[in-house]
């Protein structure tokens, strides 16, 4: 065979094929040029596959008109195994991650998916973040990556962030932290894999953080105005000819002032606006995990180690509590006993209670729901889902309180009307209609809950055609409101409306609600389904039936519903 090593030739082909796969996933020159035109950023990169192939990758993704998501990752292992793991991660990033507004949540979701797919012993180090041009910030979260580095305009030395965190794929439900660095106009962001700081120097040492800083400072003295390509070239001079590891470096510089509307005040959390969540659990580790996740989202957290302490905290802070995370099995006072006391108290009844337990029997779940639980979490649960449920609970509590207040202010609008018909299109009009239509009922405050659910359902799932699965994904990714707004503007939806008619008779009020959608299979939603109770949504119709209406009946294909309230007096 002329001395040809067939095994070596096969290995070389395998490396070449895997390296080609890696190249396919990198941003194209055209996409980078588009970002330069759109956001005023210059992006340069170096990607050098190792002689022994591993699995680096980086990418960027525009979000709206003022944000840019950017990520870099490094897969453990060697040869095609590492490249395959990189492909798995890339597929999940592109298909499973729906919203990049919360980098820590992105890593949480990606970690849980990779933990079920990665071979034992392999993992993915990653850093992902959001450049927000309206706020001049870079918000990011790390999972075992080197330090994200900011070089501010006029600076003499760089600012190093913290890319630490548990690498992805090792253990499910690991939590990650969002961090923030300044990123004003003229600033540069440098992201890199371990291949850079692990470069071996001539004296046997490695480049490391100190070496990276030294090179940047040298370049700031020589060419402060245009760092990009010269800096990457300088790093390249320190590299060996044969790479022991992939080397990926991404340099992003803001060169133009962002001219859009400033949004620095939006979504700002202050001590006055923070919502408060009580965690009642006798397991200290569980309380610590939940507290960390909730505080990282901007909530105030109060911890209780048993049912008795929980009730004491609730009674002392009734007007300040926005939600309760309640463990089912606790000493002194059982979780369900706490739930019953909360829901029987006029002062506490409106606090949404999310029950968490290790048991998952349908009987116990239904017991909790009948006692007034807002939601049910079965341990071990997904932290991201828990956060979505808490957001939903607090959001609905605020909506109900607002609608009840508006209802009290409009007590004379309907007066002695026996019948009335209205049309509406938007979620804002849903709230307006609810505050008016509730006045036809004997107990307007109680009517608010059921009416807002049925009217909102007619807009969201009816006219806009959002499926149950789609809503779950949108709610979990905090993109629900944005998607509602988007669909309302679509040409096919702009003329659609919901019509609601109320009739007040002897001892009975009837609401007839009809949308212009394709209908849905309503039969599984009239009662709470234990299989669905841990989802972040899907209980609205059942809540309407249980809490407000004496009877709820869907007609035909499901785009028309009749709901009745009987005057029990």
| Domain ranges across the chain | 6-254, 276-381, 395-566
Q: Please give the structure tokens belonging to residue 477.
A: 């990714």
d(CA 202, CA 67): 42
pLDDT given at position 166: 86
d(CA 78, CA 493): 52
Q: For the chain, give me the number of helices (H) and strands (E)?
A: 17, 20
pLDDT given at position 271: 35
pLDDT given at position 394: 81
CA neighbor of 429 nearest in space, from 489, 487, 497: 497
pLDDT given at position 196: 78
**pTM beyond 0.85:** no
Evaluate whether 342 touches 370 at the Cβ level (below 8 Å).
Answer: no
**Residue ranges with strand state E in 440-479:** none
CA neighbor of 247 nearest in space, from 21, 17, 20, 52: 52
Beta bridge partners of 513: 500, 561
Task: Fold for 276-381, please state it.
Answer: Rossmann fold (3.40.50)
d(CA 293, CA 200): 39
**Residue tagged 């990556």 (tokens):** 145
Evaluate whether 129 touches 140 at the Cβ level (below 8 Å).
Answer: yes
End-to-end CA distance of the chain: 99
d(CA 555, CA 511): 13
Task: Fold for 395-566, please state it.
Answer: Heat Shock Protein 90 (3.30.565)
Per-residue pLDDT of the chain (569 residues; tens, 9 = 90+): 334 344 444 455 445 544 555 566 678 888 888 888 889 999 988 876 655 445 678 888 888 788 899 999 887 765 555 556 666 666 666 554 445 678 888 888 888 888 877 776 678 889 999 999 989 999 999 998 999 999 998 888 999 998 888 888 888 778 888 899 999 999 999 998 887 777 777 676 778 888 888 888 888 887 666 677 778 777 766 654 444 456 788 999 998 887 665 443 333 333 345 789 999 988 887 888 788 888 877 888 999 999 899 999 998 888 888 899 988 888 888 888 998 898 888 788 888 888 887 655 666 767 776 777 777 777 766 677 788 778 877 877 776 666 566 555 555 555 566 788 888 898 888 877 877 787 777 777 677 777 888 888 899 889 999 888 888 777 766 677 788 889 999 999 999 999 998 888 888 889 999 999 998 887 777 665 656 555 555 566 766 666 678 888 889 888 999 988 887 55
Residue-level length of the chain: 569
Taking residue 316's Cβ as centre, other Cβ atoms within 10 Å add up to 10
**Residue tagged 């960390």 (tokens):** 292
pLDDT given at position 33: 87
DSSP type of residue 109: H
Q: For the domain 6-254, what is the CATH code?
A: 3.60.40.10
pLDDT given at position 3: 40
Rg (CA), the chain: 28
For 258-289, give one letter per residue: b (16+ CB within 10 A) or e: beeeeeeeeeeeeeeeebbbbbbbbeeebbeb
pLDDT given at position 14: 47
- Preceding omega of 380 cis (within 30 degrees of 0): yes
Q: Please give the structure tokens belonging to residue 328.
A: 């089912």
Evaluate whether 178 touches 141 at the Cβ level (below 8 Å).
Answer: yes
Beta bridge partners of 423: 499
d(CA 529, CA 545): 13
pLDDT given at position 133: 92
Beta-carbon contacts of 297 under 8 Å, excluding residues fewer than 6 positions away, are: 387
Beta bridge partners of 68: 62, 131
Question: Please, how many CA atoms are within 13 Å of residue 268, restricted to the half-sphere of its CB?
Answer: 7
Beta bridge partners of 47: 248
């Amino acid at each position: 065979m002329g001395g040809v090593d067939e095994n070596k030739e096969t290995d070389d082909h395998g490396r070449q094929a895997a390296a080609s796969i890696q190249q396919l996933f990198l941003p194209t020159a055209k996409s980078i040029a588009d970002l330069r035109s759109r956001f005023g950023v210059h992006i340069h990169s170096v990607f050098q596959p190792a002689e022994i192939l591993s699995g680096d990758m980086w990418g960027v993704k525009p979000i709206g008109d003022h944000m840019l998501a950017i990520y870099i990752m490094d897969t453990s292992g060697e040869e095609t195994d590492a490249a395959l793991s990189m492909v798995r991660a890339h597929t999940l990033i592109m298909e499973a991650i729906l919203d990049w507004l919360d980098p820590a949540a992105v890593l949480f979701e990606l970690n849980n998916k990779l933990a079920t797919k990665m071979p034992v012993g392999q993992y993915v180090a990653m850093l992902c973040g959001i450049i927000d041009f309206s706020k001049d910030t870079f918000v990011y979260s790390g999972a075992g990556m080197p330090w994200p580095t900011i070089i501010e305009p006029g600076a003499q030395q760089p600012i190093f962030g913290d890319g630490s965190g548990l690498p992805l794929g090792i253990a499910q439900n690991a939590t990650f932290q969002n961090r923030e660095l300044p990123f004003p106009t003229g600033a540069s962001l440098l992201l890199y894999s371990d291949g850079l700081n692990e470069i071996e120097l001539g004296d046997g040492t490695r480049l490391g953080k100190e070496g990276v800083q030294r090179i940047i400072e040298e370049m700031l003295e020589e060419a402060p105005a245009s760092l990009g390509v010269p800096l990457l070239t300088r790093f390249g001079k320190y590299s060996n000819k044969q790479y022991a590891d992939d080397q990926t470096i991404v340099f992003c510089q803001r060169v133009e002032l962002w001219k859009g509307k400033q949004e620095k005040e939006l979504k700002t959390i202050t001590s006055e606006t923070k919502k408060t969540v009580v965690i009642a659990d006798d397991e200290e580790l569980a309380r610590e995990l939940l507290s960390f996740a909730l505080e990282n989202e901007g909530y105030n957290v109060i911890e209780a180690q048993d049912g008795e302490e929980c009730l004491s905290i609730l009674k002392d802070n009734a007007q300040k509590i926005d939600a309760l995370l309640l463990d089912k099995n606790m000493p002194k006072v059982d979780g369900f006993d706490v739930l019953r006391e909360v829901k029987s108290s006029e002062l506490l009844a409106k606090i949404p209670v999310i029950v968490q337990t290790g048991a998952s029997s349908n009987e116990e779940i239904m017991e909790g729901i009948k006692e007034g639980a807002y939601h049910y979490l079965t341990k071990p649960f997904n932290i991201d889902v828990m956060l979505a449920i808490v957001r939903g609970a607090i959001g609905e509590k605020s909506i109900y309180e607002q609608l009840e207040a508006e209802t009290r202010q409009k007590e004379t609008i309907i007066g002695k009307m026996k019948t009335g018909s209205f049309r509406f299109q938007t979620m804002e009009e849903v709230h307006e209609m609810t505050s008016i239509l509730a006045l036809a009922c004997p107990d307007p405050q109680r009517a608010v809950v059921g009416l807002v659910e049925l009217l909102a359902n007619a807009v969201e799932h009816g006219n806009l055609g959002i499926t149950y699965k789609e809503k779950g994904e949108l709610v979990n990714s905090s993109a629900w409101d944005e998607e509602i707004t988007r669909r309302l503007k679509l040409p096919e939806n702009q003329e659609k409306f919901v019509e609601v008619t109320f009739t007040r008779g002897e001892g009975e009020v009837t609401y007839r609600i009809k949308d212009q959608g394709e209908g849905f299979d309503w039969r599984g939603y009239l009662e709470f389904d234990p299989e669905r109770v841990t989802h972040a949504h899907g209980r609205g119709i059942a809540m309407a039936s249980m809490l407000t209406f004496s009877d709820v009946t869907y007609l035909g294909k499901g785009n028309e519903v009749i709901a009745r309230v009987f005057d029990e007096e």
